[in-house]
Amino acid sequence: MTKIHHPHKLPPVVSRDRRTKILSKGSSHSHWRDPYHWLLTISWDKFVIVIIIAYTIVNTLFALAYLAGGDCIANARPGSFADAFFFSIQTMASIGYGAMYPKTDYANLVVAIEALVGLMFLAMATGLMFSRFSRPTAKVLFSKVAVIAPYNGKPTLMFRTANERHNQIFEAEMHVSLVRDEVSIEGTVMRRFYDLKLVRHQTPIFALTWTGMHIIDETSPLYGETAETLHHSNIEIIVILTGIDETVAQPIHSRHSYLADEIHWNHLFVDILTTLPNGKRLIDYTNFHDVIPL
């Protein structure tokens, strides 16, 4: 439960770019204390830049160490930073062209230290890249909008999902929650969570599409709400889908949310499933997000 003391609207709980919109103050957590998690969560372009910068800094430090030893590298120009730098790269990568080599005890000591550091650096960089590649991820497509329309004579909140990988997700489960602002009698604004019961919250195989449906009856937190009241309450419908990917046999999850202005009242989704003459089913993703008024 989040408690604030001003009526300003809060940002969405689920960010579309998967980055948190919440700032923290007074927390002792720092990326420098948890670099492994930080390196796994940053984007690929930032990850590559960090590796390049770290690689350059380490080789620069060893190049300066070689220069501090004077003329300690055979066939290298005395005092040349470039030669010392590229000799450091050859040493760290265990290339060993043979044109330049250490010729003093001091240089051999630095080479021994750099060989160990290079082994650890390459091992960590390789492990991080493998961890980033091997993380199980879901490719679940959520409709851009949700609708509220009658179903079996009762108003029903509906949205649809699809498995973009065209394989199967076993034991898929969908959990839907309503988040809205509520004001206590003391005037304190609180962000409250309510579970929304689905007509079907679990399916043994998720291969085609899945329409999430919540019937708005007397037991629903949405009972009696209108488009205006949903906007006033700053609501957000949070959808969490979990399951087991059959390809990697590991748990996966995906998330999405719908704000008040993304819920279309008295609309229906365009049908996207058709059966071909050969008996196969066709999913038309071009109309996946389209809705039509009743």
Q: Where in the chain is the domain with CATH 1.10.287.70?
A: 35-134
Contacting residues for 5 by C-beta, under 8 A, at least 6 apart: 188, 189
> What is the rounded CA–CA span in Å between residue 243 and residue 138?
9
3-state secondary structure 70-111: CCCEECCCCCCHHHHHHHHHHHHCCCCCCCCEECCHHHHHHH
Of 246, 241, 271, the C-alpha closest to 256 is 241
Contact 190, 2 (CB under 8 A): yes
Which CATH number fits the domain 35-134, given the four candidates 1.10.357.10, 2.40.160.20, 1.10.287.70, 3.40.50.280? 1.10.287.70
> What is the rounded CA–CA span in Å between residue 285 and residue 211?
14
The single-letter DSSP state of residue 135 is S
> What is the rounded CA–CA span in Å between residue 10 and residue 22?
10
Q: What angle do CA 90, 96, 98 make, to 5 degrees?
A: 120
> What is the rounded CA–CA span in Å between residue 103 and residue 148?
79
Which string of DSSP letters, residue by residue, matches 24-69?
A: -SS----TTT-HHHHHHHS-HHHHHHHHHHHHHHHHHHHHHHHHHT
Structure tokens that stand for 158 in this block: 């509906």
Distances (CA, A) of 119 to 93, 210, 242: 8, 49, 39
The amino acid at residue 131 is S
Region of 70 please: left (phi>0), alpha (psi -120 to 50) or beta.
left
pLDDT by position in tens, the chain (length 294): 444 444 455 556 666 555 555 555 555 555 667 788 888 888 899 999 999 999 999 999 999 999 999 999 999 998 999 999 999 999 998 887 888 999 999 999 999 999 999 999 999 999 999 988 888 788 899 999 999 999 998 999 999 999 888 788 999 999 999 999 888 888 888 888 999 999 999 999 988 889 999 999 999 999 998 989 998 888 999 999 999 998 888 899 999 999 999 999 999 999 888 888 887 888 888 889 999 998
CATH architecture of structural domain 137-293:
Sandwich (2.60)
> What is the rounded CA–CA span in Å between residue 256 and residue 242?
12
pLDDT of residue 13: 63
Q: Where in the chain is the domain with CATH 2.60.40.1400?
A: 137-293
Distances (CA, A) of 127 to 105, 215, 278, 289: 33, 47, 47, 39
The rounded radius of gyration (Å) of the Cα atoms in the chain is: 29
Using DSSP, state whether 134 is helix, strand or coil.
helix
Structure tokens that stand for 187 in this block: 């005037």
Distances (CA, A) of 169 to 23, 54, 206, 254: 35, 39, 5, 12
Whole-prediction pTM value?
Answer: 0.72
Distances (CA, A) of 235 to 118, 183, 207: 52, 13, 30
